[in-house]
Amino acid sequence: MRAIYILCVRQLKRYIRSPARIIGSLGQPILFLVALGFGMRAMFARAGGGNYINFLSPGIISMAILFNAVFSGIEIIWDRQFGFLKETLVAPVSRLEIVFGRMLGGAIVAFAQGLVVFVICLIAGFRFVSSPYLPLAIFFMFMIALLFAGMGTVFGSVLQDMQGFPLIINFLIMPLFFFSGAIFTTTGLPRALRILLRLNPLSYGVDGLRGALINQFAFGLTTDLAVVTILTALLLGIGSYFFSKIQL
């Protein structure tokens, strides 16, 4: 447990000491919120979809969490190059504990960023339906963060090129975001697109968060919880395996 605590605190300190990183990571979610939320609001309302800001905001919150969580994996490559990873690997703790500590640290940072974006969405006009479901929404936010921090850990353990990591991750997470139902409804879509949505792990996180905030589920609460929880546990195991194979 001490190793998990140390790794979490270390990642939080890195985050707090980098104001440029905090501000920079807010740019893309705010851009999408303003450009899409206000630009397509009238069109969405005329199509009978209701308030587009309310529909879009859970997707934008998920986007902020997704990007921050996955990119936490680059710290493994950074630590490998500068020697800190070697000190971690020779410590008398299990690889599972190390990986979970890294995942948890990255997830907490991404979750904090998601909370900031949530407040920005409220300022922009977003209104959630029922406050008793707010803890469920917070749970989904944290689970999205933990799931994709696990994905970032897997890629950070496999890749060694610090310049190549952002390219590969961007190639991966942009489709994950756009084909998750974050910015459009899941009804009336072509069959191929519906299949992509079903195969996308972020779809279940976005759906669970949107359902908890505005009571609009596409897959159902039980399905969303099951998929996100199972995939998070699976990535923890995969991340531990690849992390144990790291050659210094």
Q: What is the pLDDT of residues 102-148, one digit of tens each?
A: 888 888 889 989 999 999 999 988 988 876 788 999 999 999 999 99
Range of the domain at 208: 2-244
Domain count, the chain: 1
- In whole angstroms, give the CA distance from residue 161 to residue 17: 24
pLDDT at 239 over 90: no
pLDDT at 248 over 60: no
Averaged pLDDT score across all residues of the chain: 83
Q: To which residue do tokens 């190390």 refer?
A: 98
pLDDT at residue 140 in the model: 94
Q: Within the chain, what is the greatest distance between any pair of CA atoms?
A: 62
Q: Measured on CA atoms in the order 170, 206, 143, 62, is the torsion positive or negative?
A: positive
pLDDT at residue 26 in the model: 81
Residue 48 dihedral angles phi and psi, to the nearest 5°: 85, 15
Q: To which residue do tokens 């897997």 refer?
A: 154
pLDDT at 48 over 60: yes
Query: What average pLDDT does this structure show over 157-161?
Result: 78
Whole-structure pTM value: 0.89
